[in-house]
Amino acid sequence: MKKMALGFGFCLSLAACGGGPREYSRASFNGPLQCAPYARAKTGVALYGAAASWWRGASGKYRRTQTPAQGEILVFRSTGRLPSGHVSVVRSTVSSRKILVEHANWEPGRIDRSVPVIDVSRDNDWSLVRVYWAPIKNLGSRAYPTYGFIVPRDLDDIARLQETPDHAM
């Protein structure tokens, strides 16, 4: 009986080392909550498909930029870690190198708001970023390549109205 209890305890300790709520398999990122439909619902853009394809899909439809502003969509490139890419919506700009975003499924099955994203690109062009990772309560150790920011039409419409002089009588 003592051997069985020791064996059971050993198995439990191995299971604890193998995972837990802070480790995710790639399959866990393929649940019903996805970043692209979430960003589309938040911004109203008519872009579909894998998140990384949004940059190309925005060509000719939406303005694209390398400078973040509230309401814009940060588009992550496809990588081994992010095979479909990723999209986040900018909530606010903190500094030239730090923004807060809102996104779905960065941590599987969750919507996260006011998530810090730091520009770590050499040229300060937002082509490489690090993202806060809630399970460790810090920025993640990996840097992710991005294309830049897509400007939803509503933001461009507002900017045009602000640039147009008021023709009051």
Q: Does domain 30-163 have CATH number 3.90.1720.10?
A: yes
pLDDT computed for residue 7 by the predictor = 46
Count of Cβ atoms closer than 10 Å to residue 65 Cβ: 13
Q: Which residue has tokens 């899909």?
A: 57
* Separation CA 80–CA 95 (nearest Å): 29
User: For the CA atoms of 19, 128, 92, 161, what is the dihedral angle to 10 degrees?
Assistant: -140
pLDDT computed for residue 32 by the predictor = 76
Quick: pLDDT tens for 35-69. 999 999 999 999 999 999 999 999 999 999 999 99
pLDDT computed for residue 164 by the predictor = 46
Contacts of 91 (CB under 8 A, 6+ apart): 70, 99, 100, 101, 102, 113, 114
Of 71, 73, 74, nearest in space to 154 by CA: 71
Low-confidence ranges of the chain (pLDDT < 50): 4-29, 161, 164-169
* Separation CA 8–CA 33 (nearest Å): 36
The whole-angstrom distance between residue 139's C-alpha and the CA centroid of its chain comes to 13
pLDDT computed for residue 30 by the predictor = 59
pLDDT computed for residue 163 by the predictor = 54
Of 54, 52, 72, nearest in space to 151 by CA: 72
DSSP structural state of residue 78 = P
